[in-house]
């Protein structure tokens, strides 16, 4: 059994990808265990020693902050918090993102500034290790006081409430506890607030999107290189001299990678080419590169966030302080997620334009890349599909982070709307897979029409593998099937 020890080192996207894809189990490091226990003991010692109001520990929440709560009722206060805040609606959050939420919540609690019981963190680890995935909904968070509604749904099963998936089957959390022989937890002071304050809904979506985005940005280069050869383009725009005098890192890396992908191509070295190519081919380094740089910025924001404490108030045992602040506010993530939508949408936008050029009947390619156009529509309508999806991505790029709406009787008067930005980003990255899949279908069809002249060994190998899944189009057939297979090939291209 492979184990990842929470709290032993900073967590990275690559580490998360390894833990998730290779089926690691989680455990707490000795250091994290000690920090959690020290913080919990300090907090409860302070509660016994003083009746001074401390937000969310012996007071109400939000605009009810001035309502005092007796010590005998502190456990009820925290349990009530989870129940009352489980107000999510809309679609269910995909299972892979729920699992990331559990992982990231454990990570945040492990730093010993949240005042939770060790048993609470351990039960979340049990959930993760046994694939117990709470039912969480996409709508309900303003992305400011933490992801309150989604995290309340994530945490309810600790009490034996709400619903979960176990081995793919949906069941009541109470039945899940019985199945594993676990007792419902009793929330201690501050615990409910620690569980639902935080940015783990936004962060999980962001991590999921980033893991795909980083891989898709490279796949987009491979697909573009295939289209460049299929459209009989020039190699000159990828010469390193051009990019050294405008040295954006993403631009430099894209030009270098595309050149490597096309190395050894007979098509790219044919004489008698036109003087220039359309921007969607010629400016791949500049456009794809800008998206890469944006993705790198977004990754920096999320790496900071997932290695942080994002609940409130924060407990500092060594400094003998309990401080109420705003680390739950999702503004850094909201802005970054909106930026990620823009970066991914542009990769899709330029991809759709290359598809359009490939079917245009130019450069000795038949209209719509099929024999007997007119009798056959060929690849005419997949471009419509790509255009529709690219347009939807542009609509989804309307920023969520510029919006705000007052809540909690004016106490929470500025919110990030980062949760909405997160859900949008999830849709944009899914759409990008579809657009790249359609371009790949067109580019490979065009390459076949260039034979016997060949592309590079790298691309020809991919083409051979693709033909095992999708046959060359000789006459009209139901192309939705081919599109789905092409999308799957694009996703699998990531790990080839």
Residues with catalytic roles:
55
Rounded to 10 deg, the angle between the 418-449 and 331-358 helix axes is 20
Reduce the secondary structure of the chain to three states and give it as a string: CCEEEECCCCCCHHHHHHHHHCCCEEEECHHHHHHHHHHHHHHHHHHHHCCCCCCCCCECCHHHCCCECCHHHHHHHHHHHHHHHCCCEEEECCHHHHHHHHHHHHHHHCCCCCCCCHHHHHHHHHHHHCCEEECCEEECCCCCCCCHHHHHHHHHHHHCCCEEEECCEEEEHHHHHHHHCCCCCCCCCCHHHHHHCCCHHHHHHHHHHHHHHHHHHHHHHHHHHHHHHHCCCCCHHHCHHHHHCCCCHHHHHHHHHHHHHCCCCCCCCCCCCCCCCCHHHHCHHHHHHHHHHHHHHHHHHHHHHHCCCCCCCEEEHHHCEEECCCCCCCHHHHHHHHHHHHHHHHHHHHHHHHHHHHCCCCCCCCHHHCCCECCECCCHHHHHHHHHHHHHHHHHCCCCCCCCCCEHHHCECCCCCHHHHHHHHHHHHHHHHHHHHHHHHHHHHHHHHCCCCCCCHHHHHHHHHHHCCCCCCCCCCCHHHHHHHHHHHHHHHCCC
Contact predicate 211/17, CB 8 Å? yes
* Residue-level length of the chain: 496
φ, ψ of residue 68 to 5 degrees: the values are -80, 150
Contact predicate 446/358, CB 8 Å? yes
φ, ψ of residue 270 to 5 degrees: the values are -65, 140
- Prior bond to 313 cis, omega within 30? yes
Q: How far apart are CA 35 and CA 37, in angstroms?
A: 6
Q: How far apart are CA 348 and CA 432, in angstroms?
A: 5
């Amino acid at each position: 059994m492979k184990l990842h020890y929470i709290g032993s080192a900073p967590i990275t996207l690559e580490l998360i990808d390894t833990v998730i894809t290779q089926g690691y189990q989680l455990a707490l490091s000795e250091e994290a265990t000690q920090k959690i226990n020290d913080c919990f003991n300090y907090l409860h010692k302070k509660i016994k020693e003083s009746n001074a109001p401390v937000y969310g520990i012996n007071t109400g929440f939000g605009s009810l902050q001035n309502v005092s709560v007796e010590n005998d009722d502190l456990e009820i206060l925290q349990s009530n918090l989870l129940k009352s805040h489980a107000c999510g609606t809309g679609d269910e959050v995909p299972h892979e993102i729920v699992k990331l939420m559990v992982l990231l919540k454990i990570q945040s609690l492990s730093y010993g500034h949240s005042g939770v019981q060790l048993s609470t963190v351990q039960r979340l680890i049990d959930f993760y290790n046994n694939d117990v995935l709470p039912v969480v909904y996409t709508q309900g968070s303003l992305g400011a006081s933490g992801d309150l509604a989604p995290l309340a749904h994530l945490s309810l099963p600790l009490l034996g409430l709400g619903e979960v998936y176990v081995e793919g089957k949906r069941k009541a959390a109470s039945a899940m506890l019985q199945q594993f022989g676990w007792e419902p937890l009793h929330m201690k002071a501050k615990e409910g607030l620690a569980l639902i304050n935080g940015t783990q809904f936004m962060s999980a979506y962001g991590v999921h999107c980033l893991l795909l985005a980083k891989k898709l940005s490279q796949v987009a280069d491979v697909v573009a290189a295939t289209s460049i050869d299929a459209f009989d383009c020039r190699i000159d725009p990828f010469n390193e001299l051009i990019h050294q005098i405008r040295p954006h890192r993403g631009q430099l890396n894209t030009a270098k990678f595309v050149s490597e992908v096309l190395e050894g191509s007979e098509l790219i070295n044919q004489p008698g080419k036109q003087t220039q190519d359309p921007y969607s081919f010629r400016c791949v380094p500049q456009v794809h590169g800008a998206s890469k740089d944006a993705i790198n910025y977004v990754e920096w924001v999320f790496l900071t966030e997932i290695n942080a404490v994002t609940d409130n108030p924060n407990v500092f045992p060594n400094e003998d302080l309990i401080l109420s602040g705003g680390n739950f506010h999702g503004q850094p993530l909201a802005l970054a997620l909106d930026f990620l939508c823009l970066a991914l949408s542009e990769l899709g936008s330029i991809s759709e334009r290359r598809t359009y050029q490939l079917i245009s009947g130019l450069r000795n390619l038949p209209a719509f890349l099929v024999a007997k156009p007119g009798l056959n529509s060929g690849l005419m309508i997949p471009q419509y599909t790509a255009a529709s999806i690219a347009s939807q991505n542009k609509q989804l790029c309307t920023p969520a982070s510029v919006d705000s709406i007052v809540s909690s009787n004016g106490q929470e008067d500025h919110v990030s709307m980062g949760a909405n930005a997160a859900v949008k980003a999830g849709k944009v990255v899914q759409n990008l897979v579809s657009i790249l899949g359609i371009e790949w279908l067109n580019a490979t069809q065009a390459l076949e029409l260039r034979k016997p002249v060949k592309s590079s060994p790298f691309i020809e190998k991919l083409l051979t593998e693709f033909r095992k899944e999708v046959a060359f189009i000789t006459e009209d057939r139901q192309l939705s099937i081919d599109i789905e297979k092409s999308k799957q090939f694009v996703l699998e291209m990531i790990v080839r």
